[in-house]
A and B are shown apart, each in its own frame.
Chain A
Amino acid sequence: MAKEEKQDLLQLYRFCFLMVADAAKAQEIFHATLREAAQRAADGDAPGNRLWFFRNARWRCLEAGGRALQAEDVDPQEGELAESAPLQIEKLESQQFAVWISAAPEPQRTALALFYLDEFSYCELLSVTELKPPELSKLLAAGRRQFQAWLDATVPST
């Protein structure tokens, strides 16, 4: 297996984790996705590209439904992005970010998880999320502002 391909698969796990914020569930979905890919490959119908893995895993995450952890409720008012935001983010644990993303409604959850994987081009993002450009733009912009509000509430900048 090519190194890049292996890297893609590790990113697939991270995607699952961001979607469900639960390592065991993420692992289960990851394995199920790879099993299906292996089955298809054995049947001579191997997935045509890496996007298939993320689409498949996405639907499994949505099916998985219930979330073990919930992000803390914050004032729904959205704030402007702060210059100090990177410092606030640095203080977070990955798990906290995953909890926040997994708490977002669909399709914003998928859009944010895929976008922050930093794995896809703009066109690929539109393809996997099945969103139109204005919808994706609106969801990401709102997601940033909501995350900033959540940061301000949970990790106040000093």
Chain B
Amino acid sequence: MSEILRIENLSYSYPGSGRKALNGVNFSVEEGEIVGIIGPNGSGKTTLIKSILNINDYDGSVRIYGKEVKKIPKKALSKTIGVVAQEFLPIYDMKVSEIVEIGRTPYTNLFGDISQLDREHIDRAFEDLSIDHLKDRMFYSLSGGERQIVYTAKVFAQNPKIFLLDEATVHLDIGNTQQLLLKIKERVKKYGATVIATFHDINQASAFSQRIVVMKAGKIHSAGSPEEVLTGKMIEEVYGAECEVVKDPKSGVVNVFMNLEKSCEAIRVI
């Protein structure tokens, strides 16, 4: 496997705020890897995603295939990275097929005509996400879960090499979350994409990721396999919460259980 993303000494402060939202972040991602990023609110997860996308004018270095992101033209970058954010809220209602077609924007000609190749990617996105039956529906007539799947189909049609999921499952129930994450895993297996995903839910990150990066106050606290990283000590240090960490003997997935039996004084506020 070759290295697809390398981040070195990455720092960023939001304009007007003296605090560093990212402070000397270093890590790299191999091609085909699924990396989960966790950390409490304000730890810098979304800022990190925005820096990878060159939306934030960061200090340090973010390189994709060895090339500095700041030097990659926007169009070329959009062919490399696709983003699934928390939700997709178009100002006007549109047909599902039209929403998915928008994913081909970086590839279409001046007039936005859909070519044979574009059509193949769009059809494949519908097929891979099993949403052929939604093609002719209007976007806002769908349930929240269906909308997020359609949004993901748009990003599938974009055919990026790296998927950035920015808390993409935060508004979904367990069924829709499972469906979305499974479909993305299938995509990785089928076409060899790389995924970097931020999560609020530690258990989702644990079930989904091969490697977890833990962030705290703009820095990387720890990184490694879910089993290595997800410990009671880490959760107490990073989140200030006391939890039980249990490994499911059947699947081998590490799960974190919140303990509400302890007294409030035992919980350290960070």
Verify that A and B bind, or say they do not: no
> A residues engaging B (CB < 8 A)?
none
> B residues engaging A (CB < 8 A)?
none
